Amino acid sequence: MGHMCGRITQKSPPDQLGLKIASLVEPLHVPRYNGAPGQEQWVIRQNPKTGERTLDRLWWGLIPHWCKDADGGRKPINAKAETVASLPTFRDAYKRRRCLVPIDAFFEWRAIKGLKPKQPYAIGMKSGEPFALAGIWENWQRPGEEEWVRTFAIITTNSNELVRPIHDRMPVILSPKDYDRWLSPLDPDPRDLLVPYPSEPMTMWPISTRVNKPDNDDASILDRVDEPVGIVVEVVGEVHAPLEASGDLR
């Protein structure tokens, strides 16, 4: 299976997406319900010298600072928790440039036998409040140009009990008590934070395949739809996911 987290929602106002720890740098805000790679998304970073935390927009798809390709190379959108500290593409950003990606929900897809396209699900908190994903970010200068491009990737880990029936990976979700440690450059390897988030505070529901196209970026993307006929599986005490599925991402 893939290890991707490839679509997010950032619909809350910036003061809420700042998670009560960041000042707003870019005031322009258009709610994004179907945020995709290759787009600018809100990210919280900490200045290593002043400690100031800011909320601004970075491009989703990491370009290492040492990349010599004029187009930025592969631009991975995810980094696996198991290898983020060791792979050359990620290790410098993981050590020195960690960030939070504040979201209202993320999406995963499940392949269901006899059903195409795959069934998408939205996943968020029961409270409806924004929460933080663990990310890393980079500054990259296109060869021969003066402009700097800021990019990020989201770290993934094994799925928790809620997400596991539809996918074997999920983004790393950080608790508020861990924000300081994750953002601080003082700890070069906080890998004990890169674990599945508890299922109990979370919820998951099936949504329309309209989410498959990033251009479909409106509030109705998050509307619950009926499960495919005959699909019943109990997930942490709730009916959520299909019985016959490969579980891989779309």
**Residue 99 annotated to the active site:** no
Of the candidate CATH numbers 3.30.420.10, 3.10.20.30, 3.90.1680.10, 3.40.50.720, the domain formed by 8-239 belongs to 3.90.1680.10
| CB contact set of 75 (below 8 Å; sequence gap of 6+) | 37, 38, 61, 62, 63, 151
26 vs 33: which has the higher pLDDT: 33
> Which residue among 5, 67, 99, 227 is the active-site one?
5
- Reported as a single tens digit per residue, the pLDDT across 35-66 is 999 999 999 999 999 999 999 999 999 999 99
> Domain boundaries in the chain?
8-239
Of 245, 177, 174, 233, the closest CA to residue 204 belongs to: 233
Residues 143, 71: contact at Cβ < 8 Å?
A: no
Q: Which amino acid is at 125?
A: M
Could you give the CA distance from residue 226 to residue 232 in angstroms, rounded to a whole number?
11
pLDDT of residue 26: 67
Q: What is the value of pTM for the model shown?
A: 0.89
pLDDT of residue 217: 97
- Reported as a single tens digit per residue, the pLDDT across 142-188 is 888 888 999 999 999 999 999 999 999 999 999 999 999 999 989 99
* Mean pLDDT, rounded, for 182-209: 96
Residue 74 confidence (pLDDT) above 50: yes
Token pair, residue 107, equals 């999406």
> Which residue among 52, 67, 99, 108 is the active-site one?
108
**Residue 5 annotated to the active site:** yes
